[in-house]
């Protein structure tokens, strides 16, 4: 398994690395820590490279080279720091680091593509005020555009302890096996508890299952999902709900004390709609715990 870790030195980025030890990942994985230089942004012209014009007695002077070099040195320092942290959490992993002059989201996605990554790990926020302002756009862009799974780690999980509590948000209309296989094949700590949360939206209940009170196909999907987890040795608690998927997933995660929610990119969306559904985007952005958006082979 190849894991791309986005790192900017923030407490959220450190928390994302600390969370690696609780993600059920294999011992023989390799990680590439990526740090991007932080460009200056002119609000009038938009994105700009590292350019500064400083007046002195001889007139304006272009300081772009100095600023770019300083920024790259800082990116290298952060990438090395991040790699050291990953090695401390996962000492058996092969860990390397890279820097990029691209924007954070594009740098992370580019590294994932270049290394055929299986998973991207990012913190939910960034270090600077600008990064915090754009944190949603960075994590959302990575989650929306990456071709592999993305794990977005929220701040409170940085020093989480005790047995893990994991929620699999299961869309019975899709009956996707990818998220089930991913959870079932991880190496979870002893005492880990799984919850299969099945949400039948009103549209699904009316179009497929015959009405809000019907079981039918829904029961078949649930049984199949539970069998997949059971075959891997995990007996999951099953919660079945009708209604608004985003609200119900958030409520259950809060009430159940979840550490992570596993969900597919297009969960609870009509076929042929956006690659990443509104439900998945909302859950990834505002869940009370970490969220892993699982892309299996062939999923985009």
Provide the pLDDT for residue 46: 43
Provide the pLDDT for residue 56: 47
Distance CA 296, CA 292 (A): 12
- Helix/strand/coil percent split, the chain, to 5: 40, 20, 40
- CB count within 10 Å of CB 119 equals 24
The predicted-structure confidence for 187-197, as pLDDT tens digits, reads as follows 998 889 999 99
Q: Point out which residues pair with 56 in neighbouring strands.
A: 59
DSSP-derived pairing of the beta strands 41-42 and 46-47? antiparallel
Mean pLDDT value of segment 175-192: 86
Question: Across the chain, how many H-helices and E-strands are there?
Answer: 9, 12
* Angle in degrees, CA 106, 107, 111, rounded to 5: 115
Instruction: Give the residue carrying structure tokens 């490279």.
Output: 49
* Angle in degrees, CA 100, 105, 109, rounded to 5: 80
Lowest mean pLDDT segment, chosen from 61-70, 72-81, 104-113? 61-70
Confidence grade of residue 273 (pLDDT, cut at 50, 70, 90): low
Distance CA 119, CA 149 (A): 5
Q: With residue 95 as reference, give the H or E element that holds it.
A: strand 94-100
In Å, how far from its chain's centre is CA 150?
Answer: 4
Residue of higher predicted confidence among 122 and 227: 122
Delineate the domains of the chain, giving CATH numbers in brackets. 2-41+69-157 (3.40.50.620), 165-293 (3.40.50.620)
Instruction: Give the residue carrying structure tokens 């944190």.
Output: 135
The predicted-structure confidence for 243-258, as pLDDT tens digits, reads as follows 899 999 999 999 989 9
Percentage, residues of the chain above pLDDT 90:
42
**Contact in structure between 72 and 99 (CB atoms under 8 Å):** yes
Structure tokens at 220: 């078949």
Lowest mean pLDDT segment, chosen from 11-25, 62-76, 253-267? 62-76
Structure tokens at 73: 């040195």
Lowest mean pLDDT segment, chosen from 40-44, 116-120, 237-241? 40-44
Provide the pLDDT for residue 121: 96
Distance CA 6, CA 79 (A): 9
Lowest mean pLDDT segment, chosen from 57-71, 102-116, 259-273? 57-71
Provide the pLDDT for residue 136: 52
Percentage, residues of the chain above pLDDT 70:
73
Mean pLDDT value of segment 267-274: 72
The predicted-structure confidence for 161-176, as pLDDT tens digits, reads as follows 678 999 999 887 765 7
Provide the pLDDT for residue 25: 95
User: Among 56-60, 200-204, 211-215, 272-276, which range has the highest average pLDDT?
Assistant: 272-276
- CA-nearest of 37, 56, 25 to 127 is 37
Q: What's this model's pTM, rounded to 2 decimal places?
A: 0.83
Provide the pLDDT for residue 48: 40
In the predicted model, is pLDDT for residue 199 greater than 90? no
Mean pLDDT of the chain: 80
Provide the pLDDT for residue 11: 86
* Angle in degrees, CA 254, 255, 260, rounded to 5: 45
Lowest mean pLDDT segment, chosen from 78-92, 121-135, 187-201? 121-135
In the predicted model, is pLDDT for residue 7 greater than 80? yes
Provide the pLDDT for residue 43: 42
């Amino acid at each position: 398994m190849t894991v791309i870790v986005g790192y900017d030195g923030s407490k959220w980025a450190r928390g994302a690395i600390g969370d690696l030890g609780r993600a059920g990942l294999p011992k023989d994985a390799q990680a590439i820590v990526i740090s991007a230089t932080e460009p200056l942004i002119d609000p009038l012209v938009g994105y700009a490279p590292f350019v500064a014009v400083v007046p002195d007695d001889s007139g304006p002077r272009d300081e772009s080279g100095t600023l770019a070099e300083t920024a790259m040195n800082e990116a290298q320092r952060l990438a090395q720091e991040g790699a050291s942290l990953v090695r401390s959490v996962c000492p058996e992993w092969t860990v390397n680091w890279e820097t990029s002059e691209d924007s954070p989201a594009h740098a992370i996605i580019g590294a994932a593509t270049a290394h055929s990554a299986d998973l991207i790990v990012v913190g939910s926020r960034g270090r600077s005020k600008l990064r915090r302002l754009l944190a949603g756009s960075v994590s959302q862009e990575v989650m929306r555009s990456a071709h592999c799974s993305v794990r977005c780690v929220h701040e409170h999980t940085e020093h989480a302890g005790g047995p893990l509590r994991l929620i699999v948000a299961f869309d019975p209309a899709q009956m996707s096996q990818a998220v089930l296989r991913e959870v079932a094949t991880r190496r979870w700590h002893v005492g880990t508890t799984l919850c299969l949360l099945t949400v039948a939206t009103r549209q699904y209940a009316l179009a497929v299952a015959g009405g809000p009170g019907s079981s039918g196909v829904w029961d078949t999907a649930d049984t199949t999902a539970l069998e997949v987890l059971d075959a891997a040795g995990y007996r999951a608690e099953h919660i079945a709900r009708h209604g608004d998927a985003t609200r119900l997933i958030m409520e259950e995660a809060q009430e159940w004390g979840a550490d992570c929610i596993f969900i597919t990119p297009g969960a609870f969306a009509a076929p042929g709609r956006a690659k990443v559904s509104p439900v998945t985007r909302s859950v990834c952005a505002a869940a009370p715990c970490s969220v892993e958006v699982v892309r299996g082979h062939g999923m985009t």
